[in-house]
Amino acid sequence: MQVGFDYGTSNCAMSYINKGKAELIPLYGDDAFVPSTLYALERGFIAELIAQQLQDTSERQSYAQTRAGALAQSRAGKLEHDIEKVNDGLFFGAEAIAHYIAAPGEGYFIKSPKSFLGASGLRPQMVGFFEDLVAAMMLNVKQRAEHFLQRDVAQVVIGRPVNFQGINAQESNRQAQEILTAAAKRIGFREIEFLFEPLAAGFDFETRLHDNQKVLVVDVGGGTTDCSMVLMGPAHRNKLARDEDFLGHTGERVGGNDFDILLAQKALMPSFGMLSPLKTGLPMPLMPFVNAMAINDIGAQTDFYDAKTGFLLEKLQRETTEPELLKRFVNMRDYKHNFAVVREAEVGKIALSSSDIQRFPLDFIEPGLAPEASAENYAAIVTTLLQKIANLINEATTQAGSKPDIVYITGGSAKSPLIRKLVRELLGEQIAIVDGDHFGSVAAGLGVWAGRIFA
């Protein structure tokens, strides 16, 4: 059976064709979406879970050799935690978030691993770890989908952004797609295809078009923003070869996570001493605060938790004029609460789409701590990110050589009124703007394409 798989930065979803129409598959009760998070009591549990999926004896033996250390850690971890199966020590989605918040320093937690797949300089061991991590998260979705469908799923179309990274894009895209392919194969997908996510979102929209249109698809996801100008409508939608219909493609690694992180840095970190002057008259070094919130950057997180940052913070505690603020920051680092701070920024960002003022409750740092930000403040904070999205829209229309007939906005982060305002400013009031299913359109479109190419 064939499915479309949106392995997203923020959420994962899967779709299939039911009576000629793409439908999202319920994964948790009636919920078709699972947050892209994983929590493991031991990192080695991830490797053992994947080893259990490998059916070929030689492949399983080869895998066991390359993961010997992780598998040994898994065996020791099962004894330590008194569990028989690694599944009992692995949690996904909302369960992963709950376990992390309850005990941030005890297990291994990762959010939005898709953001890292195209990172430059990954060593082979790290590439292998990301293959396992992605495979584990994919397996959770695949098994839940198969339980709902009561059928094995072997053919898949996986969505991918136009560019995983802005720097060295070609190599980044190759590396990321190879990681996704390796992960998908390890959990039993036998036929694997990829499709640009904005095109997938557009295919879902195209099924509802009655006239031929030049459509600009603006897909603002959790990790990337992609724009595609595509000829769509009755004359195009049944074609398998669509190259001539694609008039322009642009994409960059700027998405909802970046908005969350920037809001956390600018609006929340001042309450942790980021702007406190030093007794020497010099400004507080910004990099520890920037790195703390940059949860989608491996290098930044490595630096933040490195011993040299700890020594720097000890020095700054003696030099700051507001030691009580910096103490909050040190405590956040000690208890690994930086992910939780960014999560509160995300919740507040969503609220600011419909309210003028938002408080950010950080009681897990200190009782009563709740910095504020206004919608106006937020708009000013994210100006640089909005300009990047504007550049992508302009480049897509430049490649196409004309403005669109209609703009189709999708992606979870596109719900912000700032995105709609930006499109209006760039393209004018006369062009129609249609909102898609901000979370489900990509998955649905991938299902549409899977139904066509695997038919």
Whether 426 is covered by a domain: the verdict is yes
Question: Quick check: 203 and 449 in contact, CB under 8 A?
Answer: yes
Q: How confident is the model at residue 103 (pLDDT cuts 50, 70, 90)?
A: confident
Mean pLDDT, residues 226-254: 92
Whether 442 is covered by a domain: the verdict is no
Sign of CA dihedral 438, 439, 442, 447: negative
In this predicted structure, the answer to whether residue 441 has a pLDDT above a threshold of 90 is yes
* All residues at 6 or more sequence positions from 98 whose CB lies less than 8 Å from its CB, including other chains: 91
Whether 204 is covered by a domain: the verdict is no
Angle made by CA atoms 102, 105, 107, in degrees to the nearest 5: 85
Q: How confident is the model at residue 207 (pLDDT cuts 50, 70, 90)?
A: confident
Q: Are residues 422 and 367 in the same domain?
A: no
Q: Are residues 180 and 51 in the same domain?
A: yes
Whether 454 is covered by a domain: the verdict is no
Q: Report pLDDT digits (tens) over 321-370.
A: 999 999 999 999 999 999 999 999 999 999 999 999 999 999 999 999 99
Whether 154 is covered by a domain: the verdict is yes
Q: Report pLDDT digits (tens) over 61-93.
A: 999 999 999 999 999 999 999 999 999 999 999
* All residues at 6 or more sequence positions from 130 whose CB lies less than 8 Å from its CB, including other chains: 113, 116, 117, 122, 179
Q: Are residues 121 and 245 in the same domain?
A: no
Q: Are residues 324 and 398 in the same domain?
A: no
In this predicted structure, the answer to whether residue 189 has a pLDDT above a threshold of 90 is yes
Counting residues of the chain whose pLDDT is more than 90, the rounded percentage is 90
Q: How far is CA 66 from CA 63, 125, 179, 213, 350, in A?
A: 5, 9, 16, 51, 43
Whether 445 is covered by a domain: the verdict is no
pLDDT at residue 203, as a whole number: 87
Q: Are residues 391 and 325 in the same domain?
A: no
Instruction: Determine the angle formed by the axes of helices 338-351 and 323-334, rounding to 10 degrees.
Output: 110
**End position of a domain, from candidates 383, 410, 428:** 383
Whether 446 is covered by a domain: the verdict is no
Counting residues of the chain whose pLDDT is more than 70, the rounded percentage is 100
Question: What's the pTM value of the predicted model, to 2 decimals?
Answer: 0.90
Residue type, 104: P
Range of the domain at 233: 211-254+385-436
- The domain tally of the chain equals 3
Q: Are residues 115 and 193 in the same domain?
A: yes
CATH code: domain of residue 86: 3.30.420.40
CA-based nearest residue to 422, from 393, 381, 380: 393
Q: Are residues 311 and 285 in the same domain?
A: yes
In this predicted structure, the answer to whether residue 167 has a pLDDT above a threshold of 80 is no
Q: Are residues 404 and 347 in the same domain?
A: no
In this predicted structure, the answer to whether residue 415 has a pLDDT above a threshold of 90 is no
Q: Are residues 44 and 92 in the same domain?
A: yes
Q: How confident is the model at residue 238 (pLDDT cuts 50, 70, 90)?
A: confident
Q: Are residues 272 and 246 in the same domain?
A: no
Sign of CA dihedral 113, 118, 122, 127: positive
Q: Are residues 55 and 20 in the same domain?
A: yes
Whether 307 is covered by a domain: the verdict is yes
pLDDT at residue 335, as a whole number: 93
Residue with tokens 């359109």: 441
453 — phi, psi (to 5°)?
Answer: -80, -20
Q: Are residues 299 and 406 in the same domain?
A: no
